[in-house]
Amino acid sequence: MDIMAMLSGTSTAITLAKAVKDAEVSLDVATIKAQMAEILSELSDAKLAQAALLEENAQLKAEVARLAAAGDEIGAMVDVGGYKYEPRDGTAIGWPACPACLANEKRVTILVQNGKAEDAKCPRCKSEFSPVVSFVAAGVTRKDEELRRRAEGMERLNRLAAPRVI
Ligand SMILES: [Zn+2]
* Band of residue 13 on the pLDDT scale cut at 50, 70, 90: confident
Ligand 1 midpoint to CA 111 (Å): 8
Phi and psi torsions of 160, nearest 5°: -70, -35
Distance CA 132, CA 125 (A): 17
The reported pTM is 0.65
How do residues 51-89 score in pLDDT, each as one tens digit? 999 999 999 999 999 999 999 999 999 999 999 999 888
Distance CA 45, CA 6 (A): 7
Overall average pLDDT of the 89-112 stretch: 94
Overall average pLDDT of the 130-137 stretch: 92
Ligand 1 midpoint to CA 100 (Å): 5
Q: Is the pLDDT of residue 125 over 80?
A: yes
Ligand 1 midpoint to CA 98 (Å): 5
Pairing of strands 78-80, 83-85: antiparallel
pLDDT of 1 reads 57
What residues does 112 pair with on adjacent strands?
Answer: 121
Helices (H) and strands (E) in the chain, counts: 4, 9
pLDDT of 144 reads 86
Ligand 1 midpoint to CA 39 (Å): 50
* Strands in the chain per DSSP E: 78-80, 83-85, 87-88, 91-92, 112-113, 120-121, 128-129, 135-137, 140-141
Range scoring the smallest mean pLDDT among 30-34, 101-105, 124-128, 159-163 = 159-163
pLDDT of 100 reads 97
pLDDT of 166 reads 67
Ligand 1 midpoint to CA 118 (Å): 17
pLDDT of 139 reads 84
* DSSP helix/strand/coil, 21: helix
pLDDT of 79 reads 93
Ligand 1 midpoint to CA 77 (Å): 16
Distance CA 16, CA 30 (A): 15
| C-alpha closest to that of 75 among 31, 42, 110, 108 | 108
